[in-house]
Amino acid sequence: MSARGEGYPRRMKTSQKTDDRDTGANLTSPVMAAFKVFQQELDTKHDKHERLVKLSRDITIESKRTIFLLHRVTSVPDVEEVLTEADLKLDGVRLNIRMIAEELRGEDLHQFHRAFTPGIQEYVEAVSFHHFIRHRTLISLEEINTKLVFVKEPEDTPEGQQPMGTPQVLTFQVTPTDYLLGVADLTGELMRMCISSVGNGDMDTPFQVSMFLRQIHDGFSYIGNTGPYEVSKKLHTLRQSLSKVEDACYTLKVRGSEIPKHMLADVFSSRTAMMDQDEGMA
């Protein structure tokens, strides 16, 4: 045992000297040079990923603010004024999407997709909510992507000289999965608008929303389990929103004449809370 104890430190010293020599030799080796390149590429990718995550957060925040603004249409006399203000906010959101398009120029979109998909889904939800309020229809994926084509003008040149270069076109394409997930989230906002409109004496909107949600539900049902996993998860939430809107329509149709209009919103809110409790217990 003592011989082993004396020999062990000597082996460590020999190994340490060998490591020192190897380290000095590896600094100029082709392998080290290759790994330096790999390090720079990974650092660049991680920095780009962090910038995309930040842009996605900004898009999410501004899109949510647009949705909150659009919910005011049930309580204001001039709906077009609210929609115009929402248009301006959505233009600001699209500026952030343009910055994402610049970051992704020459890159594989799917390599960074998880970094910005939450913001894009929220944008789809906001722009589809805005479109429904104005047209009472569902905005298509092509219509969304048409507004995400940006023209980058050449940089400013000194006076008297011709501009250098030509305008560049930047495009950002929302993926079908992000579009479907955004539309699925839209159903929750429509359910809230339905309840709010009843409280303000609007008896037509709940039935319009109910018919619209049935059409969306039928479309998602055709996809079923054949689509992306995230889409099938959203189907349960969609069914909950549809059930609450249908319950509100049933109450309006059967008991609407019995309940004063100023109390309808409270009745629907309490029934919605009871349905949420029942679903939680189930």
Lowest-pLDDT choice from 53-57, 142-146, 173-177, 241-245:
241-245
Whether the CA torsion 99, 101, 102, 104 is positive or negative: it is positive
Cβ–Cβ under 8 Å, residues 120 and 56 = yes
Question: What is the number of residues in the chain?
Answer: 282
Binding-site positions: 125, 189
Query: Cα separation of 123 and 62, whole Å?
Result: 9
How far, in Å, CA of 191 to CA of 64, rounded? 16
Q: Where are the beta strands (DSSP E) in the chain?
A: 149-152, 168-171
* Torsion-angle region of 78 (φ positive above 0: left; ψ -120 to 50: alpha; else: beta): beta
Does 15 score more than 60 pLDDT? no
State the CB neighbour count (10 A cutoff) for residue 223.
Answer: 13
Kindly state the percentage of the chain with pLDDT values over 70. Answer: 76
Predicted local confidence at residue 201, as pLDDT: 75
pLDDT (0 to 100) of residue 256:
63
Q: What is the pTM of this model?
A: 0.79
pLDDT reported for residue 274: 53
Select from 196, 44, 189, 77 the least CA-distant residue to 127. 189
Distance CA 145, CA 108 (A): 18
Check residue 83 and give its pLDDT.
Answer: 96
CA 171/CA 97 separation, integer angstroms: 10
How high is the mean pLDDT of the chain? 82
Q: Which pLDDT does position 216 carry in this prediction?
A: 94
State the binding site for Mg(2+): 125, 189
Report the pLDDT value the prediction gives residue 118, as an integer from 0 to 100: 96
Q: What percentage of the chain reaches a pLDDT higher than 90?
A: 46
CA–CA distance, 125 with 71 (Å, rounded to integer): 13
pLDDT tier, 282 (very low <50, low <70, confident <90, very high otherwise):
very low
Sequence-ordered list of residues with C-beta below 8 angstroms from that of 211, at least 6 positions apart, any chain? none
Per-residue pLDDT averaged across 262-267, rounded? 60
**pLDDT tens-digit readout, 171-230:** 999 999 999 999 999 999 999 998 888 777 788 898 999 999 999 999 988 887 777 788
CA distance 228 to 35: 37
Question: Which of 55-69, 94-108, 189-203 has the lowest average pLDDT?
Answer: 189-203
Ranges 87-91, 166-170, 219-223, most confident: 87-91
Report the alpha-carbon distance of residue 243 to residue 217 in Å, rounded: 11
DSSP 3-state of 169: strand
Please report the pLDDT score of residue 277 as a whole number.
52
